[in-house]
A and B are shown apart, each in its own frame.
Chain A
Amino acid sequence: MITPPALPEPVMAPTASEEPSFEAARNACKLCSPLGAALVFRGVRGGMPFLHGSQGCATYIRRYLISHYREPVDIASSNFSEETAVFGGAVILEKGLENVRRLYKPELIGVATTCLSETIGEDVPGLLKTYIGKHSREKDFPALVHASTPSYRGTHMDGFHAAVMALVSALAQGGPRGNRIAVFPGMVSAADLRRLRGIFSDFGLSPILTPDYGDSLDGPVWEEYRPIADGGTPVEDLRALGQTAASIQFGRILAGQAGPGDLLLERFQVPRYKLGLPIGLRETDWLYDTLAALSGRAIPADRQRERGRLLDALVDGHKYLQGRRAILYGEEDLVVGLASFLMETGVRPVLCASGSRSGRLAEALRAVTPPDQEPPEACEGADFAELEKAAAEWKPDLLLGNSKGYRMARRLGIPLIRVGFPVHDRFGAARLRHLGYDGALELYDRLVNAVMERAQDTNPTGYSYL
């Protein structure tokens, strides 16, 4: 270290502030639900997201996703007009589906309803049923799925889960029990999804990841333009979800609500495992133990070496991180997973915030906190104005979250480790790794380096040897 490390200051919660609490959202720490649904539908092979609403919703969400993934993201819209808002969108929904089928030749169209179509009370399931009745005998007729995602209900995470539930509910079919595993990873990075496939296959297991945008939103260059990028969960795999040997869903927050694993259990008696997002040692151990039990195989030697490497790094780096304080924000399940890992490193997550309001954040954080520690403060329904105020009072050493916290980080002079969505101000967002021992190690390197860089940059001597 450059300077003798100061003893960690005692951690005390900031005193209550003078500023009144605001009813308005000031720089919201959430996005709207159709975005999550669109992302899920792009994780289905040949899947085309279709927003039943105004043109702007599709365009804004496209731009947001494109800026993160740096890949084409086409989202169709039924493009409501004044007239259709009054008389209903049946005609434009049908027209839109026809046009999408003609141009994109999709294997699945995922229709998500926006606040507009929900508020005027569009009966989309009924309209889709009529459409299917009329056209389903046509060549290459796609699967049609509807997710109800009005943006006045929940956040992009709720839209994400609603779309996953819609896929399972509409497509999964029963039948003889196979040996594949249904996996519901939640909103993780494209690189994490690709890694998950490898982790399962190491145990000789064949996962059906729902969704899987590991390739469709982080793909190679093309010789010819593709209407829909390659990759994604095949529709036939989605149909086979009811015949899987077990289901695994990640996320301690998701665990507290009706999730896709529950649906498979209820309808098809598929055994259900609800795990935390596998970030860091304990949560990843939980996943590996589960996979070992499911496969009847020992944890592969390579993975054990990875675990050893992570442990080795935790030892090598512990003095850089011990006692450091961090504020985490973003999607709740991600925040809980990160908090779990940080507490293994010696970093103290003092505040964990999200724009969501599941009502379960505090409980989930308590569950990942070692018994001898105080759990981090949980803040649901947070916006960035509140977060910045809290950060100014807590004076953390690190911020972990998406790019939207950059201005706060800059004003307060606190390093920001970019995780979650969106990452619009760094390169390679789709390739950020968090899951598994090796994902945690990548994250750990970034954490330690952020602390070292800060120490180096603020040191008057400018050591090149730390």
Chain B
Amino acid sequence: MAAILPERKDQVQRKDGQAAPDLACGRASAAGSVSQRACVFCGSRVVLYPIADALHLVHGPIGCAVYTWDIRGSLSSGPELHRNSFCTDLQERDVIHGGEKKLYRCLTELIRHYRPAAAFVYATCIVGIIGDDVAAVCRRVAAEQGLAVIPVHSEGFKGTKKDGYRAACDALMQIIRPAADAARAAGEGGTLPFSINLLGEFNIAGETWIMREYFKRIGVEAIATLTGDGRVADIRRSHRAALNLVQCSGSMTYLAKQMEEEYGIPFKRISCFGIEDMAQALYDAADFFGDPAMDVRARDLVREELSELLPLLQEYRRRLEGRRAAIYVGGAFKAFSLVRALRMLGMKTVLVGSQTGNPDDYRQLRELCDEGTVIVDDTNPLELSGFLREQEVDLMIGGVKERPIAYKMGVGFCDHNHERKIPLAGFIGMLNFAREVDNSVNSPVWQFMPGHRNVSHSGGIV
């Protein structure tokens, strides 16, 4: 039985046919619990990181900057300034005397040298405590250098990763708003026909390009992707889109709501993981634009893609039917898609959870999953390892921190986090996903694991 701290008992649930109260969530991680979550800074950094022509300067001691240097699979079709790690590298004397002057000098020299399209300055834990007025430094440098210099209030302890998402969205609005005001003043603010923005899509392994291509094929132009393969100029034009499609809803719904409020752009949540969700995203867009020809194009596209894909998936399904999966990801919305995608492969989700889900997310997960599934919020390695054994899991889907837990327990693994280098979105992504899952689940190595249920005492397969 998984060891669960008393204060976490209501953050764990088993779907058992009974009515149940909402899963407790949205709270700070219990001290000492070894949460898989990161912090506010992490939330801001992951959202803004893919903006490739911006300078990203981490203001603080070195740790936050080095641990986030070039670790994501977010690709750029052009500039790659985002793949550097810039930091004010605060030292003890800066902590005593304040870091504003150093921040000013660092920002100025970096902007002069790299000529970025905009700069983001991430305030980390101690910046506020030592009394640095980051916003004032940013204003000064912006005026002197003539570009947007945006403070990102991302002190690690000031909330959870979700608050970091909000800080990132606020930072993005500081780019969008002045551009929209200027465009409006110049009479150029009109909505562009059949245009969308993709929000919460980070171009991991080129996924943005796959999605943009699908939308292009049905006659929809993506103005900006926030923030995959991101460019400041595109973000400045994003207020002219007719529709915002929000993929990672946990991080970007807040921005979508602001854009709806300020520019009247409606938004829809979509997912591009799994066949059903990807197809639905295209249908939703076509439906929104109300153009019958677009609707036909969307259906043709899906039919075309599936005619190639389904026979291939059948083979994987034959190899994976009946296997049991665990999902632990950052945002719950991705978990919905994964449950459906696994189902398409004949697999059953027996454990599912997220770092940052809300009550509504967990209610939906409960509806979606089969009886007996365990649902967890903000879990930790010890709970996960207990559930992997208890639920007889064959495959874990998660990130780098979940991988060794699965492997030590003799369980297969699929990386569905930001570090991955293989596109899992779209129709082609579903095929990659099936291949990834099959490669791990059907590897011969598991038969030798001491805890494996097919191991006989002589080590052979029973």
User: What is the interface of chain A, defined by CB distance below 8 A to chain B?
Assistant: 19-20, 22-28, 30-32, 34-35, 50, 53-64, 66-67, 70-82, 84-85, 92-93, 95-100, 102-104, 114-116, 119-120, 150-153, 155, 221-225, 227, 385, 404, 407
Query: Contact between A57 and B63 (Cβ–Cβ < 8 Å)?
Result: yes
Selected from B5, B86, B102, B401, the residue in CB contact (under 8 A) with A99 is: B5
Closest-CB distance, B403 to chain A (whole angstroms): 7
Q: Would you list which residues of chain B between 145 and 176 have a CB under 8 Å from chain A?
A: 156-160
Interchain Cβ contacts under 8 Å between A and B, 7 examples: A28-B66, A60-B67, A81-B159, A103-B33, A104-B382, A115-B125, A152-B90
Query: Contact between B66 and A31 (Cβ–Cβ < 8 Å)?
Result: yes
**B95 at interface (Cβ–Cβ under 8 A)?**
yes
Query: Contact between B36 and A59 (Cβ–Cβ < 8 Å)?
Result: yes
Q: With A54-B156, A81-B28, A116-B126 in contact, is A60–B60 under 8 Å at CB?
A: no
CB contacts (< 8 Å) of A92 on chain B: these are: 31
Query: Contact between A26 and B84 (Cβ–Cβ < 8 Å)?
Result: yes
Chain B residue at minimum C-beta to C-beta distance from A404:
B69
CB contacts (< 8 Å) of B70 on chain A: these are: 407
Query: Contact between B61 and A151 (Cβ–Cβ < 8 Å)?
Result: yes
Closest-CB distance, B299 to chain A (whole angstroms): 42
**B400 at interface (Cβ–Cβ under 8 A)?**
yes
**B408 at interface (Cβ–Cβ under 8 A)?**
yes
Query: Contact between B126 and A50 (Cβ–Cβ < 8 Å)?
Result: no
Closest-CB distance, B149 to chain A (whole angstroms): 14
Q: With A56-B39, A103-B5 in contact, is A64–B67 under 8 Å at CB?
A: yes
CB contacts (< 8 Å) of B113 on chain A: these are: 19-20, 22
- For the complex, what is the distance from the CA of A155 to the CA of B91, rounded to whole Å? 11
Closest-CB distance, A208 to chain B (whole angstroms): 28
- For the complex, what is the distance from the CA of A391 to the CA of B294, rounded to whole Å? 54
CB contacts (< 8 Å) of B86 on chain A: these are: 24-26
Considering residues B65, B66, B84, which has the most beta carbons from chain A within 10 angstroms of its beta carbon? B66
Query: Contact between A81 and B157 (Cβ–Cβ < 8 Å)?
Result: yes
Selected from A24, A58, A225, the residue in CB contact (under 8 A) with B34 is: A58
- For the complex, what is the distance from the CA of A95 to the CA of B29, rounded to whole Å? 12
- For the complex, what is the distance from the CA of A79 to the CA of B38, rounded to whole Å? 10
Selected from A26, A67, A95, the residue in CB contact (under 8 A) with B32 is: A95
Closest-CB distance, B353 to chain A (whole angstroms): 16
Q: Total number of A-B contacts with CB less than 8 angstroms? A: 233
Closest-CB distance, A405 to chain B (whole angstroms): 12
CB contacts (< 8 Å) of B11 on chain A: these are: none
Q: A119-B126, A150-B92, A221-B407 are in contact. List 4 more A-B contacts (CB 8 A).
A: A78-B31, A95-B32, A120-B129, A225-B405
CB contacts (< 8 Å) of B88 on chain A: these are: 24-25
CB contacts (< 8 Å) of B62 on chain A: these are: 25, 28, 30-32, 151, 155
Chain B residue at minimum C-beta to C-beta distance from A59:
B38
Query: Contact between A72 and B38 (Cβ–Cβ < 8 Å)?
Result: no
Closest-CB distance, B354 to chain A (whole angstroms): 15
Closest-CB distance, A380 to chain B (whole angstroms): 14
**B410 at interface (Cβ–Cβ under 8 A)?**
yes
Closest-CB distance, A85 to chain B (whole angstroms): 5
Selected from B63, B69, B126, B129, the residue in CB contact (under 8 A) with A32 is: B63
- Per-residue A-contact encoding for B68-100, CB less than 8 Å = 1, 0 else: 111000000000000111111111101100000
Selected from B60, B68, B85, the residue in CB contact (under 8 A) with A115 is: B60
Closest-CB distance, A385 to chain B (whole angstroms): 8
**B178 at interface (Cβ–Cβ under 8 A)?**
no
Chain B residue at minimum C-beta to C-beta distance from A73:
B404
Q: With A26-B84, A66-B404, A151-B62 in contact, is A78–B41 under 8 Å at CB?
A: no
Considering residues B91, B126, B130, which has the most beta carbons from chain A within 10 angstroms of its beta carbon? B126
Considering residues A54, A74, A119, which has the most beta carbons from chain B within 10 angstroms of its beta carbon? A54
- For the complex, what is the distance from the CA of A100 to the CA of B410, rounded to whole Å? 25
Q: With A59-B37, A59-B401, A81-B28 in contact, is A116–B3 under 8 Å at CB?
A: no
**B459 at interface (Cβ–Cβ under 8 A)?**
no
**B117 at interface (Cβ–Cβ under 8 A)?**
no
- Per-residue A-contact encoding for B375-409, CB less than 8 Å = 1, 0 else: 00000011001101100000000001101110111
- For the complex, what is the distance from the CA of A99 to the CA of B4, rounded to whole Å? 10
CB contacts (< 8 Å) of B404 on chain A: these are: 66, 70-73
Which of B103-111, B260-268, B340-348, B436-444 contacts its partner?
A: B103-111
CB contacts (< 8 Å) of B157 on chain A: these are: 53-55, 79-82, 84-85, 116
CB contacts (< 8 Å) of A26 on chain B: these are: 84-86, 110
CB contacts (< 8 Å) of A155 on chain B: these are: 62
Selected from B5, B38, B69, B400, the residue in CB contact (under 8 A) with A27 is: B69
Chain B residue at minimum C-beta to C-beta distance from A98:
B32
CB contacts (< 8 Å) of A67 on chain B: these are: 400
Q: With A56-B156, A67-B400, A116-B129 in contact, is A99–B30 under 8 Å at CB?
A: yes
**B138 at interface (Cβ–Cβ under 8 A)?**
no
- For the complex, what is the distance from the CA of A221 to the CA of B406, rounded to whole Å? 11
Query: Contact between A24 and B92 (Cβ–Cβ < 8 Å)?
Result: no
Query: Contact between B109 and A23 (Cβ–Cβ < 8 Å)?
Result: yes
CB contacts (< 8 Å) of B38 on chain A: these are: 55-56, 59-60
Query: Contact between A32 and B30 (Cβ–Cβ < 8 Å)?
Result: no
CB contacts (< 8 Å) of A58 on chain B: these are: 34
CB contacts (< 8 Å) of A77 on chain B: these are: 29, 31-32, 34-35
Query: Contact between A23 and B125 (Cβ–Cβ < 8 Å)?
Result: no
Chain B residue at minimum C-beta to C-beta distance from A32:
B63
**B64 at interface (Cβ–Cβ under 8 A)?**
yes
- For the complex, what is the distance from the CA of A223 to the CA of B410, rounded to whole Å? 8
Chain A residue at minimum C-beta to C-beta distance from B59:
A24
- For the complex, what is the distance from the CA of A152 to the CA of B69, rounded to whole Å? 18
- For the complex, what is the distance from the CA of A78 to the CA of B156, rounded to whole Å? 13
Query: Contact between B158 and A82 (Cβ–Cβ < 8 Å)?
Result: yes
**B372 at interface (Cβ–Cβ under 8 A)?**
no
Query: Contact between B125 and A54 (Cβ–Cβ < 8 Å)?
Result: yes
Q: Would you list which residues of chain B between 1 and 41 have a CB under 8 Å from chain A?
A: 3, 5, 28-41
Q: With A119-B130, A225-B386 in contact, is A56–B5 under 8 Å at CB?
A: no
